[in-house]
Structure 1
């Protein structure tokens, strides 16, 4: 158990404390417990069922929660990655191994809640980059080093729990409310922390900052760390991409094959800065996390187009070869197919339609690749059969013909089939047309439909998964990310050589100076926004109050216009919200004018005391009867009826003898006749009512008596009596069955009385 953890309290864990956390002992222990627990294939619903949760999941959670080890969530996700890789190798037990991987994700979610009471420690659990070999012995480190090759770069595989969740596609874990709270705080900059750059191109780790809650009143006005907030980074990325698109359009509009124009130079600078930024992002988080965002695939495709264009353009200008420059601009023009939709999808990148489109593109490219490999044999066959044709078809022409047939132009298959071979050509082309247009396209449509349905069913998890990816990509430790293109090229040219000359402190000072110099207007805007216009700040509240005052001053017929209600909102919503903000005093009671009492639990005595009949005789059901009212005798004492139950007798004996002057007539109103038959309960309650209350007291007494009488009437139909009747019926049946069995067994044992015994 980590005893130092108890002294952290509500403060953020220090980097020195995080470095002492033992990670490796958790990994084999978790693997052993999960393997021992799960030995059959179970779905997510079965693993999260209540019985499995209490018998399997909770014991493991309690076992590891007692350690209070902040790396336990990361260890669960590491074990999950192991089981996922094992499921791909061991196909025979893939279902069982995947169930174990799912259990690891569930354990990570439940163990994460143990740190949810402290927000700062919760962020540390999810964002700290843990070394999986921390806490391992030297022998284990040597064995791992020999297994991976022994290089320091391969041994350095520290990752955070969020990064492991993304790489293992733990979508349920990332969509967990506790996880999403941290992701949202990181995205909007409410949580401030720095990640030590281990694979950064330009690392500045001189002043690592502990995790803290951001307060704009305590932070400096020109806070260069705010440039690494994913929320601001996304807006700056959109602006940079828009500038790149404008330079791209102007470059192609003013192209000159023989010379370099001004806009071409601007485009090359912005494209080179964009390439450096993407390369830095891929190096920072690794290729797996980088490629998990499908939009990065499009960005990488544009970078490949730009590099091909740049190479051909340099060759054409150096050799004066105009066809190379023509080809360079033609290839660059194809980049518009990526840049224009990429800019449009920035605003709706995580919409359900875009997520479905992105998944469908992936499925389509995979299916087309498989189909191309399968039909490559047919391509070679047709090329071989067409060697005797005149003219001889090339592989490119045959591939283009097959592509046209694939996309529906089946007339070509019948027209050009005999060119390859008079017998085999038509047969092969007919088979290819039938497969491509009927079978394979139907399968493709079914796959895409299932993809859309799956994305739509899990739209929330998919959206939050992509949101977590974009957030973690925005939190970067590389110093180059604090520079906006094209200033990142300038920073790379100046600071990269300076890392070999300057001390870490001098390099940090130079880096901060260049960031504030190149991003001065941006930092000014961010500082003004966070201090005056952000949610909860002074100007934001003042502006909201002014808008509300202006809206309230409008005429009624304007405020109730459908367009105004759609823009501002209905005033009834404000009324509903204001109702719950009013302090209600205890004087307002909705039950002050009601004589009915609130619901309460009732406890009755046994049925023998409730019902009439002979008491104390077991096995004899007592039928509840309506008690007769007692008539007062001459002496004022009530004489109980002979058929009254014992409870009635006890009740009447407990009543004190009433004098003639203490009769109930004075309690009756003038409008009520005195000859009304009064029950013993009425006499009992009326004898204790003060006569000074008059009519109100009599009404309350009568209401109380009626309620009690209704309650006594309800006792007659209690389920206890019905249960006793059924028990009596069962006992009678059992007695008859026993008698019948007794007679049968006597006959079998020849115990029937003899004739002479009977006669005698």
Structure 2
């Protein structure tokens, strides 16, 4: 079907000239309710490209006159558009523009503009409507056609149990294109970038029609929050309206699986304790994290028991349990990687600890078995020494629950960035160290061997300056004292002082954005734990039962309804005690909080309603210029209703910070307006001079 691109000229605000408002070809997109995701991306990209064509920072677009057109675009989307893929498209464009490095900052400004429009659009909705837009998954057109033609309902359960979050369906007309998506994290990101670039590189709708494959296919089955995580839209994810949704998923107020049956369908919905299956609570991230901590505590107890006993001659029952725990942990990490994909998996810093723990456990098991088989007890002792290294990662892994608190979760990104800067600085330290070590070793070769001199220089570098002064004449009476004085000065004063100052500046730089980093990691963990396409998720070590029973059956039995029903029965039998504990906890919680799991305000009916009628385009432009904001016949509240609420809660004030600037922001806005007028004047003078030159 050809794309009907209808557009309207964007009205110029009356607050003075700006580099954006002076652009003559700015147009508002006309997005229909039934437009496909590729069409929405194309229309929005044309508008963003026209609106933002000069470098601007995020704060300039948010608080100054530079972002006037973005506010009008938000009003237009809020009052005129009901397409459910609006937020998905904006965040996909944010990913596209954020990846481009044009050297001028225009692409970065457009990426910021997409992020601002996305979260401002959400702030003008009710909370329940914001949930619908943020968790709307981009549908596969081929799946929709197949499901509409089929007589039986689509099976959304275990049929896709081995797929990942960043996945594609097998029903594509282009299987080779989809198979390219099963790559590493960098390859996936490159594929997502290229898919949007195919749309944004062309300026006409006819160019999109000529594409043989759907360039937005890699985004199929991704919701807006997942796209935001892939696009590193940390400001978007840190907004209160978005964090309330993520917190709702964390607490189980929003669920994706409401029942445990063969034909269950993955779909975001609000939890209803009366109708929902109690076993669906096993997928709540909060309970997953609690069980993870309990599992690691048991893991740590077995670990200490085996190390304290340390039987060199035979494998004890406790050691067998430790191997079972290791195997269950390893299989759970593999399943998590397959479900989440490498992009989400690598975003969690604790997964690096998990992989190191698995590597140490494998080395220990190999050395232990080989040593017992060969009766080489020296090798057995080395195996236990290797196992002792596990505590360096297992103990912090148990304490990873602290990273969910704002304080520790904010501190960890700072330490991470400081560690990166420290490693970069150590390159210079190693160069200086190797240079002086070589000189001292050659000059004092008659008195000290190379290993001895290396140890002396290391002690001097770590603060034992007196050692250098004691041996400087022994190294060489002529060259020893001046060289040692220079080395001590460099290592103890210059290098250490520079390192301290650099790390202090690094901490100050990162702490300003540490909250965004913390909320980003927290959001990725919640999405990774909750939006998996796997219906039956076995907790370790019960996952080994499913692996031992059903994995061999996959080799010669089809994955039919009976096969999936067997997995469900095993899950119910093994996880019934866990579900009982969860139900008891929620019963006690409901006594304290009578509202239960209904903390989202707004209409309960879906807000994705088709537009029935709209004012004529020319009359709408005149009314927008006069300050009128039309209300469309939809169940959503318009921006005027949202903004004019009688009382705004304190925690909701963050959502409207961009529309209610502080005194400092007002002064910045006034100064920016003056700069904009001066820039426009210079541009007009340059244009006039150019015309005079042409005439001459």
TM range (shorter): 0.5 to 0.7
- The CA distance in 1 between the partners of 2:266 and 2:173, in whole Å, is 34
Which of 273, 287, 291 is matched with 2:328 structurally? 273
Which residue of the partner structure matches residue 165 of structure 2?
A: none
- Aligned 8 A contact 1:109 1:173 in 2: yes
In structure 2, the partner of 1:77 is 91
* TM-aligned CA distance change 1:65 to 1:494, over 3 Å: farther
Structure 1's 384 and 408: CA in aligned 2 closer, same or farther, altered over 3 A? Answer: closer
In 2, the alpha carbon distance for the partners of 1:111 and 1:315 equals: 62
Q: Secondary structure at the match of 2:108?
A: helix
1:122-157 Cα deviation digits (max 9, x unpaired): 33432344379999xxxxxx9999999956666774
Query: Which residue pairs with 1:470 in the alignment?
Result: 525
1:358 matched to 2:372? The reply is: no
1:287 maps to 342
TM norm structure 2: 0.63
Pair 1:504 & 2:565 matched: no
**1:186 Cα deviation (Å)?**
1.0
Q: Distance in 2 between matches of 1:271 and 1:369?
A: 32
Structure 1 gaps of 5+ residues are: 2-18, 136-141, 196-202, 541-760
Contact 1:230 1:474 survives alignment (8 Å)? yes
Q: Cα distance, 1:475 vs. partner?
A: 0.6
Q: Distance in 2 between matches of 1:360 and 1:423?
A: 47
Q: Is the contact made by 1:24 and 1:132 (CA closer than 8 Å) also made in structure 2?
A: no
Bigger relative contact order, structure 1 or 2 (CA pairs below 8 A, ≥6 apart): 2
Q: Tell me whether 312-321 or 477-486 shows the greater mean CA deviation.
A: 477-486
**Alignment-derived partner of residue 210 in structure 1:** 267
Residue of structure 2 aligned with 1:126, choices 127, 134, 140:
134
The verdict on how the C-alpha distance between 1:511 and 1:340 changes in structure 2, with shifts beyond 3 A counting, is: same
Deviations 1:65-98 (A, max 9, x none): 73422222122222222232223xx4x32x3332
Report the equivalent of 1:174: 237
2:80 matched residue in structure 1: 66
C-alpha contact 2:74 2:121 (8 A) present in aligned 1? no
Distance 1:435 1:21 in 2: 65
Alignment of 1:576-615 (within 5 A): none
Distance of 2:487 and 2:141 partners within structure 1: 55
What residue is the counterpart of 2:152 in the other structure? none
Once residues 408 and 178 of structure 2 are traced to their aligned partners in structure 1, the CA distance between those partners, rounded to angstroms, is: 39
Q: How many residues align?
A: 502
Indicate if the aligned counterparts of 1:230 and 1:471 stay in contact, CA closer than 8 A. yes
Distance (whole Å) between structure 2 residues aligned to residue 282 and residue 479 of structure 1:
12
**What's the offset of the Cα at 1:332?**
1.7
Instruction: Give the direction of change, closer, same or farther, for the CA distance of 1:336–1:134 in structure 2 (3 Å limit).
Output: same
1:519 aligned counterpart, secondary structure: helix
Counterpart in 2 of 1:370? Answer: 424
Alignment-derived partner of residue 219 in structure 1: 276
Q: In structure 2, what is the Cα distance between the partners aligned to 1:418 and 1:312? A: 49
Task: Give me the TM-score of the superposition, normalised by structure 1.
Answer: 0.58
Q: Is the 8 A contact 1:382 1:420 kept in 2?
A: no
CA distance in 1, matches of 2:568, 2:275: 19
2:577 corresponds to which of 521, 530, 543: 521
After superposition, residues 367-446 of structure 1 pair within 5 angstroms as 367-378=421-432, 381=435, 386=441, 389=445, 403-414=458-469, 431-446=486-501
SS of the counterpart of 1:362?
Answer: helix
Shift, 1:217, TM fit: 1.8
User: Greater shift after overlay, 292-301 or 446-455?
Assistant: 446-455
Alpha-carbon deviation of 1:412?
4.3
Matching residue within 294, 301, 304 for 1:249:
304
Seen in structure 2, the aligned counterparts of structure 1 residues 46 and 118 have a Cα distance that, compared at 3 Å, is closer
Alpha-carbon displacement from aligned partner over 1:677-719 (angstroms, at most 9, x marks no partner) = xxxxxxxxxxxxxxxxxxxxxxxxxxxxxxxxxxxxxxxxxxx
| CA–CA separation in structure 1 for the residues paired with 2:179 and 2:469 | 58
Q: Root-mean-square deviation (CA), in Å?
A: 4.1
Aligned pairs for 1:691-730 (under 5 A) are none
In structure 2, do the counterparts of structure 1 residues 457 and 321 end up closer, same or farther at CA, with 3 Å as the change threshold? same
Aligned pair 1:160/2:223, yes or no?
Answer: yes
Structure 2: runs of 5+ lacking an equivalent? 2-32, 144-171, 192-216, 597-696
